[in-house]
Amino acid sequence: MTGDTIAGQFREGDAIGTFSIRRVDAKPPTFKQEEVSFRNGDVTLSGTLLLPLTEVPYPAVVFLHGAGSEGRYGARFLAEYFTRYGIAALIYDKRGVGKSTGDWKRSDFADLAGDAIAGIHFLQQRKEINPRKIGIYGHSQGGSIGPLVAARSRDVAFVISAAGGGVPMYEAEINSLTNQIRAKGMTGGDLAEATAFIQTFVSVARTGEDGRNWTRLSRKRETQNGFPYLGCRPKTIISGHFTGVSPITIRPSIGRR
């Protein structure tokens, strides 16, 4: 730290970056905020409602979460940005995170979409919000769930999908895992065998079928030096990416022995 500046280095996985933050005078607030909660069945979602300092009623946006344990503050920056343009924003803790009840690890995409719809219904009851102008913003997994929300509810005025999937989620998972091992330098026959292993892994986690092929590949993985592994059995997996297909619970990790 030097004067009004903090600089340094950060690491996320294998990626390394630098940062520099400088203190500046605070700008006048563009919103007021309120701690709120709403329910989807027996799950209580806790969040923050940001309301612009402009004329009511406001259009509004409900923020969806990315994969994993994401709370309301994951979308805080963009929520504040929307208020500058007169748009209210609802951000909330994913079920099982922060002050929200439930467990996202045991929930599928339909459950998470239902949480967003409950948020829309909550906003429709607020006198400050225009009930006909409420939309969805989702990034990554949330970008893939957004269209599902719109398909299930006619109350969705718009959908903003940031980095959402353009293929079925199980295909996205296979591509993600395969790209990770390719980035670690695996090529040729090893890559082909690893890809077959990943495809079977995802298939078993998704459908519960193809168990014999999984057993065969698992035994080969255990005996073949350097063969990539996932570190857990498909029946115990819950992936942060394709939970919409099957009640699955830990995100698989890929590496090499």
* pLDDT one-digit tens code per residue, 170-182: 898 899 889 888 8
Asked if 59 and 88 count as a contact pair (C-beta separation under 8 A), the reply is: yes
- Tell me the pLDDT band of 63, cut-offs 50, 70 and 90: very high
Q: Is 166's pLDDT higher than 90?
A: no
Q: Give the pLDDT of residue 244.
A: 38
Quick one: which of 46, 243, 62 has its CA closest to 141? 243
Q: Is 152's pLDDT higher than 80?
A: yes
Q: What is the pTM of this model?
A: 0.77
Q: Which residues of 229-254 are buried (b: 16+ CB within 10 A; e: fewer)?
A: bbebebeebbbbbbbbbbebeebbeb
Q: Is 74's pLDDT higher than 50?
A: yes
Residue 70 phi, psi dihedral angles, 5° rounding = -105, 130
pLDDT in tens, 121-147: 999 999 999 999 999 999 999 999 999
**Across 104-127, average pLDDT:** 97
Q: Is 14's pLDDT higher than 90?
A: no
- Tell me the pLDDT band of 226, cut-offs 50, 70 and 90: very low
pLDDT in tens, 26-40: 889 999 999 999 999
**183 vs 45: which has the higher pLDDT:** 45
Of the chain, the end-to-end C-alpha distance in Å amounts to 40
Q: Give the pLDDT of residue 22.
A: 94
- Tell me the pLDDT band of 210, cut-offs 50, 70 and 90: low
